[in-house]
């Protein structure tokens, strides 16, 4: 099989074995003997033809991963962040919500492109790129982010159950119920991926209609909404508003969601030997992701606007998920309270399975450890339930503070997904001709600097006027945090070159560093266009295709 010079030459990693060969499916560009995912690579068929004009039929075939990804933009942490933004700052932070969603879309598209071009998810590529220590650190940071997100899902679902039962089920009991009902979602996957995607699409639709109904009922000021969206300012914003600004960024852009999206796109059958097919897949995934995140943005906007219009002011400064239901009941009646509870429950339950998938992909990608989903759910949900139950039993009022700080935690963890995806998608060794252009790199670097700046400003606000030992602890943690961020920002190759320069100045031997640099440039990835085609196989449509045998050296 030959590839024309005009076609792109995507690169895929060599396996982690020595000697022998590895058979690769030509259609899916994925190892056929040991798939990493229970969401099987290439299991959803995409129409295979040479017509590259836009087709709604093909768009429908690619529709699914983007909407599953968008659920993370609608979890209970986002809903709480939305209602607090509306109650604390009215419409002033809508521009933060909008641009955070746009920035999230940019990162999600990078993740999707990585999966489409390489045939592997971000965690797997990170395992093959980074050394053991940074790889383990990245894995731990993502596990912390996933557990933090799971705590928010538990809190949101428990509060919704409490509201819908008219407080007959206490919040701590709701926490226990969420620990059980999570396992019921595992049975959905046995019905097929498309049905699973349709189910979560139904949950998103439920949220859209419930919050839209509230939006229409409350009738917020449309002029104020437009001003809040297009005028980036926050006049007279206090510390709480600034914390809310950071919380919006953390709530909207989930770091582990970037890892998740890079794996979800592998479910579609793509001929990665054909550059035009890759371009086509990238286009359809971009359209689908943009539509999905636009829907999520509208839902978040509905919540912000409702609370900005109906519940803003000094008496609502302590806005929270747990209190919002009673406020709605007092002002709009039991029916509206039930609608609110259904929306919150849909948000909590829909984000349950996506968190499970993210945890599974992250663990398998970074550590090459395959766990059954029920084990993964049991571990994550058990860890998430312990602090939630403790707080729910001892001091329910602190649940909302916990939720807020978990949003900030997501913002702090964001660079551990942002910087790897930026470096990997900017590498011609990984992405071939599909690497990032200069404008994309500048935008993502600007986002990284912005996120770090916001995080440090928030830390300054929180530790200001505190005792010396708090400053000391924060200083130590900040130094460690920034050291690793700097390592990720420099990149592996530049890091080796910098080390070589230092060793040269010190008169030390750099032979092993030169070998390490050569290994980095040549070991992990090979060019598919240079792979000999032997053997015969059929693709998902029964058409005869060639299987490439990749030599392992």
- Collect all residues with Cβ–Cβ distance below 8 Å to 407 and sequence separation of at least 6: 77, 80, 81, 152, 246, 247, 248, 250, 251
Residue 358 has pLDDT above 50, yes or no: yes
| 136-141: Cβ within 8 A, 24+ apart | 136/366, 137/416, 137/484, 138/366, 138/416, 138/420, 139/362, 139/363, 139/366, 139/367, 141/255, 141/413, 141/416
**What percent of the chain lies above the pLDDT cut of 70?**
80
Residue 25 has pLDDT above 50, yes or no: no
| Closest alpha carbon to 72 in 223, 229, 233, 259 | 259
Average pLDDT, the chain: 78
What are the DSSP calls for 218-230, one per residue? Answer: H---HHHHHHHHH
CB-based contact 159:343 (threshold 8 Å) = no
Q: What pLDDT is attached to residue 418?
A: 92
Distance CA 438, CA 306 (A): 40
Residue 37 has pLDDT above 60, yes or no: no
- Collect all residues with Cβ–Cβ distance below 8 Å to 341 and sequence separation of at least 6: 160, 163, 164, 325
321-332 pLDDT, tens digit each = 878 888 888 888
Distance CA 163, CA 169 (A): 8
237-251 pLDDT, tens digit each = 777 777 777 778 777
Residue 529 has pLDDT above 50, yes or no: no
Instruction: Tell me the sheet residues that pair with 31.
Output: 24
Q: What pLDDT is attached to residue 321?
A: 81
Q: Packing angle between helix 334-367 and helix 373-394, nearest 10 degrees?
A: 130
Q: What pLDDT is attached to residue 538?
A: 32
SS3 (DSSP) at 14: coil
The reported pTM is 0.82
Query: Which is more confidently placed, 537 or 135?
Result: 135
Domain ranges (residues) in the chain: 11-35+53-541
The position carrying tokens 């969206």 is: 229
CB 513: neighbour CB atoms within 10 A? 18
| Closest alpha carbon to 309 in 100, 83, 97, 78 | 83
Distance CA 545, CA 107 (A): 34
Average pLDDT value for residue range 14-25: 34
The two tokens of residue 414 are 């964001």
The two tokens of residue 480 are 């460690």
Residue 455 has pLDDT above 60, yes or no: yes
Distance CA 408, CA 420 (A): 20
148-195 pLDDT, tens digit each = 888 888 888 888 888 888 888 888 888 888 877 766 666 766 777 778
Q: Is 37 exposed, middle or buried (0-12, 13-18, 19+ CB in 10 A)?
A: buried
Distance CA 510, CA 292 (A): 50
Count Cβ neighbours within 10 Å for each residue of 488-505 and write b for 16 or more, e otherwise: bbebbeebbeeebeeeee
| Closest alpha carbon to 404 in 542, 517, 240, 277 | 240
Phi and psi at residue 305, to the nearest 5°: -65, -40
Q: What pLDDT is attached to residue 189?
A: 67
Residue 113 has pLDDT above 60, yes or no: yes
Q: What pLDDT is attached to residue 313?
A: 66
Average pLDDT value for residue range 378-396: 73
CATH assignment of 11-35+53-541, given 3.30.300.180, 3.40.1010.10, 1.10.3210.10, 1.20.1740.10? 1.20.1740.10
58-79 pLDDT, tens digit each = 888 888 899 989 988 988 888 8
Q: What pLDDT is attached to residue 40?
A: 55
493-517 pLDDT, tens digit each = 888 888 889 888 888 888 888 888 8
Q: What pLDDT is attached to residue 357?
A: 83
Q: What pLDDT is attached to residue 370?
A: 77
Q: Is 476 exposed, middle or buried (0-12, 13-18, 19+ CB in 10 A)?
A: exposed
CB 506: neighbour CB atoms within 10 A? 8
Average pLDDT value for residue range 306-313: 82
Q: What pLDDT is attached to residue 36?
A: 40
Residue 543 has pLDDT above 60, yes or no: no
Distance CA 148, CA 139 (A): 14
Phi-psi region of 192 (alpha: psi -120 to 50; beta: other; left: phi over 0): left
Work out the angle at residue 322's Cα, subtended by the Cα atoms of residues 168 and 318, and round it to the nearest 5 degrees.
Answer: 150
Residue 55 has pLDDT above 50, yes or no: yes
Which 3-state string (H, E, C) describes 372-389? CHHHHHHHHHHHHHHHHH
């Amino acid at each position: 099989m030959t590839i024309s010079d005009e076609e792109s030459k995507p690169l895929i990693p060599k396996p982690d074995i020595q000697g022998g060969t590895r058979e690769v499916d030509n259609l899916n560009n994925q190892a056929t003997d040991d798939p990493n995912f229970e969401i099987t690579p290439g299991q959803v068929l995409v129409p295979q033809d040479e017509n590259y004009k836009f087709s709604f039929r093909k768009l429908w075939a690619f529709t699914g991963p983007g909407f599953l990804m968008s659920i993370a933009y609608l979890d209970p942490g986002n809903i709480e962040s939305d209602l607090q933004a509306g109650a604390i700052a009215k419409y002033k932070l809508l521009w933060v919500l909008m641009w955070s969603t746009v920035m999230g879309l940019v990162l999600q598209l990078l993740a999707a492109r990585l999966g489409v071009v390489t045939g592997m998810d971000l965690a797997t590529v990170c395992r093959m790129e980074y050394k053991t220590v940074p790889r383990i650190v990245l894995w731990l940071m993502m596990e912390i982010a996933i557990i933090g997100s799971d705590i928010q899902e538990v809190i949101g679902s428990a509060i919704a159950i409490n509201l819908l039962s008219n407080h007959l089920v206490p919040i701590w009991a709701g926490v226990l119920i969420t620990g059980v009902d999570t396992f019921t979602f595992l049975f959905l996957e046995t019905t097929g991926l498309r049905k699973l995607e349709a189910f979560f699409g139904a949950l998103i639709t439920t949220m859209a209609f419930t919050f839209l109904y509230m939006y229409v009922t409350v009738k917020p000021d449309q002029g104020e909404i437009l001003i809040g969206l297009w005028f980036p300012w926050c006049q007279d914003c206090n510390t709480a508003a600034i914390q809310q600004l950071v919380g919006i960024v953390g709530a909207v852009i989930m770091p582990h969601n970037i890892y998740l999206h890079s794996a979800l796109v592998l479910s579609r059958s793509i001929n990665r030997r054909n550059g035009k097919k890759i371009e086509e897949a990238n286009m359809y995934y971009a359209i689908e992701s943009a539509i999905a995140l636009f829907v999520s943005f509208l839902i978040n906007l509905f919540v912000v606007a409702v609370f900005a219009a109906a519940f803003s002011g000094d008496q609502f400064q302590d806005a929270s998920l747990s209190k919002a239901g009673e406020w709605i009941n007092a002002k709009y009646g039991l029916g509206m309270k039930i609608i609110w509870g259904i929306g919150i429950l849909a948000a909590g339950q829909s984000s349950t399975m996506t968190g499970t998938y993210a945890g599974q992909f992250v663990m398998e990608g970074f550590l090459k450890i395959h766990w059954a989903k029920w084990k993964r759910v049991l571990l994550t949900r058990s860890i998430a339930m312990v602090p939630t139950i403790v707080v729910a039993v001892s001091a329910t009022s602190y649940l909302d503070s916990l939720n807020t700080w978990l949003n900030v935690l997501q913002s702090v963890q964001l660079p551990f997904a942002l910087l790897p995806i930026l470096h990997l998608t900017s590498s011609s060794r990984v992405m071939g001709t599909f690497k990032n252009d200069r404008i994309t790199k500048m935008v993502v670097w600007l986002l990284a600097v912005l996120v770090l700046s916001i995080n440090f400003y928030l830390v300054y606000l929180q530790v200001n006027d505190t005792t010396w030992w708090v400053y000391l602890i924060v200083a130590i943690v900040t130094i460690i945090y920034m050291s690793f961020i700097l390592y990720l920002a420099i990149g592996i190759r530049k890091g080796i070159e910098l080390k070589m320069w230092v060793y040269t100045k010190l008169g030390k031997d750099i032979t092993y560093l030169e070998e390490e640099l050569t290994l980095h440039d040549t070991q992990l990835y090979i060019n598919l266009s240079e792979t000999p085609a032997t053997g015969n196989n059929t693709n998902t449509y029964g058409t005869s295709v060639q299987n490439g045998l990749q030599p392992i050296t």
